[in-house]
Each structure stands twice: as structure tokens, then as C-alpha cells.
Amino acid sequence: MTPQQTAHHAPAPVHGAGGTAPTVLVVEDDPIVRTVLIRHLTAAGHPVRSVGTALGALREVSQAGCDLVVLDLGLPDLDGGDALKMIRSVTDVPVIISTARDDEKEIVRLLNDGADDYLVKPFSGDHLSARIAAVLRRFAAAAPPVSHLLRVGGLTVDTRRREAALDARPLELTRREFDLLAYLAARPGTVITRKQILAEVWQHSYGSAQTIDVHLSWLRRKLGETPTAPRYLRTVRGVGFRLEAP
């Protein structure tokens, strides 16, 4: 994106809960590009924060939070790919990669590492807004039904309030962990494949099974169990997973 490519008419943002526009964190070390991005996103109605380093991005997402990250790969303190992994270690917030690297293998690697979309520089403000809207729509579609109280044994999942509890003890879950748990809890006893999880929860037709296994491992840990001593989350070897009461 360059100053000459600033859009004249920015599309309206996808609104979040309560009608508020999603907050965007811009991670870009080039001050000119950062200024243009901030100007366009602000004109589109987004609250915007910005940083110029990977460590600054990690601090923002872990402490202040945001609804979406636009992440440049050419950062001065850390490669953007490594920054993506660090962000993914603390949050499931949508991430759009901004890169000058038009390399298919690199892009596939980034998507497998947790990126939700990418843009190859230079790109227009309208293109960025369209990608942001598309990513946020996918995340909204991935959210489970909002009017059900799901119960599986001592596990309760309130999809309206996005709260979960185990034996009346609240569970601290990331957004992706909650969506995964709600998806499984809505289908108790049913074997779910990694491919189904990827399509229905991640809203992707591609991706790494390892990413799903990592999230399932985190979820299992928060449920107080291990693969060798499962209570709720059981592995069906060679097929997938199922959630059922002990």
C-alpha cells in the first residue's frame, strides 16, 4: 500500500457486538505506510492502534487486545513469521499478513502457521477493507449458535454469553478454544474429524492438522485431563475426536 493508493471511498466496517466497529492493530515499521493504513482504516470507522515492532505487537494483543491484526513481515526486531507464531501463542485474533514476498510456499507456510489471510504489497485501501470484512465474516460464521446452553456431564457451555464451566468452575478459554469446545459439545458422542474442525471451526479448506492438535491439547489441559487419562475429550485413533460425558 502506498500513499497514492489511498481509497477515496472506504467501505463500512463489519460491526461487532453492540454495533461497535472492530478494532484493528496495524503492525508496520514503515512510518509512511503505517500512516496511510491508519488514515484509511480510521476513515472506514475502525478504531486503530499501531506499533512498529513484533514485540510491540505481542504486548498490544496480550495486554490491550484487538479484533484484527494487519501484520507486516518486514519488522526490524523479528521476522513477521516468527511474530505470527508468537501472536498465535497468546490469542486467536484474526491476522492478515501484509507482505512484499510473493512466494507461494511462503504464503502457504504462513497460512498453516495461523494467518487468516494475506495481501501482497502494494495494495489499495479498498482491497484491505474487503479482506478485513471477509475475514471478520468468516469468524462471525464460525461462532456457534448464540441461544443454546449446552451440557455434557459436568461441562456447561453458554454460547450466548460465550462462557464455559466445568463442575461449576469457570474455564478461561481463548476465542478459538471456546468455538472448538462449543462445536464439540453441540455434538456429544459424535466422532469429529480434523477436516471437519478445519472447515467448520477454522472456516478453512486448507491447513495443518498440527494446529488443530495443538488447540485440542490446550483445551484438554484446561479440562484437567491428558491424552492418556481422558475424561471428556477422547481421541479416536486414525479418525478424529469426540466429546462425551465421563
Please write the tens of the pLDDT for every residue from 71-93.
Answer: 999 899 988 888 998 888 778 88
End residue of a domain, out of 120, 142, 164: 142
CB atoms within 10 A of CB 125: 22
Instruction: State the pLDDT at residue 175.
Output: 86
Q: What is the dihedral of CA 129, 66, 48, 97, to 10 degrees?
A: -50
Instruction: State the pLDDT at residue 25.
Output: 96
Query: What is the C-alpha separation between 118 and 87, in angstroms, rounded?
Result: 16
103, 208: one domain: no
107, 136: one domain: yes
What is the arithmetic mean of pLDDT over 132-136? 90
Q: Which domain holds residue 62?
A: 3-142
End residue of a domain, out of 79, 107, 142: 142
At residue 50 the predicted structure's pLDDT band, cuts being 50, 70 and 90, is very high
Residues 6+ apart with CB under 8 A from 182: 144, 150, 157, 159, 164
Cβ atoms 14, 5 nearer than 8 A: no
30, 92: one domain: yes
Cβ atoms 55, 84 nearer than 8 A: no
Which of these, 39, 47, 101, lies nearest to 71 by C-alpha position? Answer: 101
Query: What is the C-alpha separation between 42 and 25, in angstroms, rounded?
Result: 12
**By three-state DSSP, how is residue 144 classified?**
coil
64, 153: one domain: no
For the entire predicted model, the pTM comes to: 0.55
183, 133: one domain: no
| Higher pLDDT among residues 21 and 224, named by residue | 224
The per-residue pLDDT of the chain, averaged, comes to: 83
Distances (CA, A) of 212 to 83, 208, 241: 19, 7, 11
End residue of a domain, out of 86, 113, 142: 142
Please write the tens of the pLDDT for every residue from 194-213.
Answer: 888 887 887 765 656 777 88
At residue 35 the predicted structure's pLDDT band, cuts being 50, 70 and 90, is very high
Instruction: State the pLDDT at residue 37.
Output: 94
65, 100: one domain: yes
Query: What is the C-alpha separation between 156 and 15, in angstroms, rounded?
Result: 28
Whether omega for the bond prior to residue 122 falls within 30 degrees of 0, making it cis, is: yes
- 229 secondary structure, DSSP code: B
Instruction: State the pLDDT at residue 9.
Output: 42
167, 105: one domain: no
Q: Which amino acid is at 185?
A: A
Q: What CATH number should be reported for the domain holding residue 172?
A: 1.10.10.10
